[in-house]
Amino acid sequence: MKSLCLSGVQPTNFLHVGNYIGALKQWVEIQHRFPCYFCIVDLHAITVAQDPKQLRENVLNTAATYLAVGIDPKRSHVFIQSEVHEHAELGWILGTITRIAELERMTQFKDKAKRRADNVGVGLFTYPALMAADILLYDTTVVPVGEDQMQHVELTRTIARRFNTTFGDTFVIPQALIQKQGARIMGLDDPSVKMSKSATSTMNYIALTDDDDTIRKKIMRAVTDSGKDIVYDPDKKPAVTNLLTIFHHMTGRTIKDLENEFEGKGYGDLKKALADAVIAHVGPIRDKIAEYRKDPKELMRVLDAGRDAAQELATTKMKIVRERVGLGRA
Ligand code: AMP
Ligand code: TRP
């Protein structure tokens, strides 16, 4: 079977260091191994209310971010989900074989529904069926994501198997690809919750567009643990563990090496060095995002080409799906 990688991010705000470490950094590496499709999932974004003008801005910012972190448009296809209509069509079809009880078990749904109890749309509930469509439409074998998406990829596998059993072998069963360390970067202001674009405080995350002073300020104010040892210990030292994990991903240095360097030193020393490391790594990404946004021609060209490449595969696959399900006329 041919390997193919697909992943996506919701264009709901500027991407942060958690998105980068958990997902995008893996994408950059994997594109040298497989054909890759990287999607900007705007249909998923509208499962919670978005300002229409801002949403379009966020779509372009997200595309610029993909390129700025090192997605090479000569190798990989970058496209906007809503521009390939087959995503919505297959999402609907898969929704008909997805069970309510399965969707009710999704922790992302439970979290988001809790936060807006009086305003939960049907789309937020069926979100995983659309995500399954994104993945299955392309015969995806590998889905590089952060740990929080594991449950959605598992459900995608269940839906694919069910479709294959009911209608005949149609979909490839995909696999999630999750980092060993850094699959779940925690909030700087609260190491018990994941770093999130929708956090109430901007102190929770480092956006890839934050300027140097903001990055430094956020890291220097980050919550730390009791005691003063700088050691990797997710249970006893969740905050320090999180800072060490970010440090590791920003520099490529091993956790052991970092623990050795900071032995006998204080949290302040760790934070100062980490701020320098994040600024050195994120600064050039931020500048490239700004360049792509200033001259949108290149971005438009990449998104056109990505859409055309995705459309080709989606058209072929949906012909088969419609026939298997018995939709329309022969
Ligand atoms: P989202 O921002 O929810 O669209 O997530 C985009 C990608 O980033 C997905 O693969 C997520 O699993 C990943 N991601 C989001 N937040 C984090 C985090 N705090 N740590 C690691 N990965 C994350
Ligand atoms: N649900 C994912 C998230 O919140 C985004 C997403 C939508 C996705 N479709 C996808 C990720 C397909 C991987 C593959 O992060």
Distance 9 CA to ligand 2 centre (A): 6
Q: What is the pTM of this model?
A: 0.95
For ligand 1, is residue 18 a contact (CB within 6 Å)?
Answer: yes
Q: For the chain, which residues make up each domain, given as ranges?
A: 5-177+295-325, 202-290
Class of domain 202-290: mainly alpha
Residue whose Cα lies nearest atom 8 of ligand 1: it is: 19
Each residue's pLDDT, cut to its tens digit, for the chain (330 residues) gives: 799 999 999 999 999 999 999 999 999 999 999 999 999 999 999 999 999 999 999 999 999 999 999 999 999 999 999 999 999 999 999 999 999 999 999 999 999 888 887 789 999 999 999 999 999 999 999 999 999 999 999 999 999 999 999 999 999 999 999 988 878 999 999 999 999 988 889 999 999 999 999 999 999 999 999 999 999 999 999 999 999 999 999 999 999 999 999 999 999 999 999 999 999 999 999 999 999 999 899 999 999 999 999 999 999 999 999 999 999 998
Q: Contact, 174 vs 141, CB < 8 A? A: yes
Angle at 58 (CA atoms; ends 217, 195), nearest 5 degrees: 40
Give catalytic residues, as residue numbers.
112, 194, 197
CATH of domain 5-177+295-325: 3.40.50.620
Query: What residues contact residue 249 under an 8 Å CB cut-off, 6+ apart?
Result: 21, 25, 181, 182
Ligand closest in space to the Cα of 198 = 1
Residue whose CB lies within 8 A of the most ligand 2 atoms, among 4, 6, 10, for a mutation test: 10
Residue whose CB lies within 8 A of the most ligand 1 atoms, among 148, 156, 205, 242, for a mutation test: 148
